[in-house]
């Protein structure tokens, strides 16, 4: 049975749409007639299904009480705290509601109260994020950046043995469309200093994917194996880890990123579940000849990556005022990573670190083999030596005030519909 005959919601069958019935991502938003009351929604076509309103009208009847209770909450943390079978059951129930059939709400008397225009929603960060960890999982990115600063040793000796990461700042994670204020910081023209303090001049984006931890969590001192990790992958979002490269260069030795990255990270608002992504998963990356063997705790024969196409677009303030389409900066894929989500999570807990529902992990900058696949301005312009020309004729080495940077992501496969993540946008505002 095709999508066209199954789903009756407007916009759910567009070939270039992000949210067909096969997707059904979760999000949190305020609706215009319920301001100040964030609630859980499911995106479908041009609309979104309100879970709180649906529960009030009895439309969620048949779900286990624990699932219905979780869907009435103002964040996704309660749903994330359940197990994968509950996530599948909730998704199946919503599918039935939006499919022409016995359990559909197609002709429900209060359909218009529960299914509202998606464009009218004020989206929120989908979970109360307790902790955020950013990894460095792309060999292409790590090699490119390493060759700029350490041409004789682009990759550090440990890089192919473990997923390198750092703990980011959960409090500064914002949702799509939130303005990004140019940060201040210490910068130095030389490696030896002395530094000066002022607005960053080398502001950058980082093309990343984020994934939310789900399930009951692991007790402190207990590990999650790489084979069990997938059961804790609730779903994925696009993530842009904004970076002040001049601040980063001065501060990153010896303990890595700090204020260069703690000022803002943007996520797309809709969490695409692992259930929706499974048809677009492919076997995990193979190791090349000469690569070291993985240690046993990182090895799983059934490991996988998700083939998500990711596009970065940039528009100056003048371009937006003139109605000029944004310029594509790069295009890449989440499949071009060296370390998988399962490996990142397994390594994170290898010490017995306890994870909690709603914790966010991110891939680090995703880059590929070609120049157009480089996932940040630092790489794309090769430290500013190869500037990009925008559609209005201006050049960019790094981001300027007024620029709007947008990341889009989607999955496609022959015989399957396109499913997408929506957008992850931010406009650069002047330093304060």
Catalytic positions: 141
Contact status, residue 210 vs residue 199, Cβ threshold 8 Å? no
Question: Long-range pairs for 254-262 at CB < 8 Å and ≥24 separation?
Answer: 256/166, 257/134, 257/166, 259/183, 259/185, 259/186, 260/185, 261/134, 261/168, 261/169, 262/168, 262/169, 262/172
- The candidate with the shortest Cα–Cα distance to 19, out of 9, 33, 6, is 9
Tokens of 419: 């499913």
The residues, any chain, with a CB within 8 Å of residue 122's CB and separated by 6 or more, are 29, 30, 31, 32, 35
Angle, alpha carbons 295-300-303 (nearest 5°): 125
Contact status, residue 294 vs residue 187, Cβ threshold 8 Å? no
Omega within 30 of 0 (cis) for the link into 194: yes
Q: What is the CA radius of gyration of the chain?
A: 22
Contact status, residue 66 vs residue 87, Cβ threshold 8 Å? no
Tokens of 33: 């007639």
Contact status, residue 266 vs residue 196, Cβ threshold 8 Å? no
Q: What is the DSSP letter of 53?
A: H
- Give the three-class secondary structure for 51: helix
CA–CA separation, 307 vs 72, rounded Å?
32
């Amino acid at each position: 049975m095709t999508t066209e005959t199954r789903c009756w919601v407007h916009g759910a069958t567009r070939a270039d749409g992000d949210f067909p019935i096969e997707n059904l991502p979760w999000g949190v938003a305020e609706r215009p007639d319920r301001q100040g009351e964030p609630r859980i929604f499911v995106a479908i076509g041009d609309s979104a299904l309100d879970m709180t309103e649906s529960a009030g009208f009895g439309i969620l009847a048949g779900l286990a009480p624990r699932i219905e209770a979780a869907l009435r909450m103002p964040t996704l943390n309660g749903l994330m705290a359940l197990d994968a079978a509950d996530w599948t059951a909730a998704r199946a129930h919503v599918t039935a509601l939006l499919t022409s059939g016995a359990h559909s709400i197609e002709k429900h008397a209060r359909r218009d109260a529960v299914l509202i225009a998606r464009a009218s929603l004020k989206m929120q960060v989908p979970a109360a994020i307790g902790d955020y960890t950013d990894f460095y999982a792309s060999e292409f990115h790590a090699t490119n950046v390493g060759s700029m600063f350490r041409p004789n040793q682009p990759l550090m000796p440990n890089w192919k043995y473990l997923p390198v990461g750092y703990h980011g700042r959960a409090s500064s994670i914002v949702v799509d469309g939130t303005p990004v204020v140019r940060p201040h910081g210490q910068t130095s023209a030389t490696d030896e200093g002395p530094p000066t303090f002022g607005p960053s001049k080398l502001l950058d984006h980082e093309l990343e994917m984020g994934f939310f931890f789900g399930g009951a969590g692991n007790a402190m001192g207990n590990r999650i194996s790489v084979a069990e990790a997938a059961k804790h992958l609730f779903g994925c979002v696009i993530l842009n880890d904004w970076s002040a490269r001049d601040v980063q260069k001065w501060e990153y030795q010896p303990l890595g990123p700090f204020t260069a990255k703690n000022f803002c990270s943007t996520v797309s608002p809709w969490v695409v579940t692992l259930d929706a992504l499974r048809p677009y998963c492919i076997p995990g990356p193979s190791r090349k000849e000469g690569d070291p063997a993985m240690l046993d705790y990182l090895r799983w024969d059934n490991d996988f990556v998700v083939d998500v196409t990711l596009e970065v677009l940039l528009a100056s303030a003048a371009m937006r005022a003139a109605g000029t389409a944004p310029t594509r900066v790069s295009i890449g894929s989440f499949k071009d990573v060296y370390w998988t989500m399962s490996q990142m999570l397994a390594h994170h807990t290898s010490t017995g670190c306890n994870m909690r529902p709603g914790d966010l992990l991110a891939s680090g900058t995703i880059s590929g083999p070609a120049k157009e696949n480089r996932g940040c301005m630092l790489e794309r312009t090769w430290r500013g030596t190869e500037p990009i020309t925008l559609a209005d004729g201006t050049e960019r080495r790094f981001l300027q005030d007024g620029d709007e940077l947008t990341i889009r992501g989607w999955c496609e496969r022959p015989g399957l519909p396109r499913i997408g993540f929506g957008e992850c946008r931010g406009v650069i505002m002047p330093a304060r």
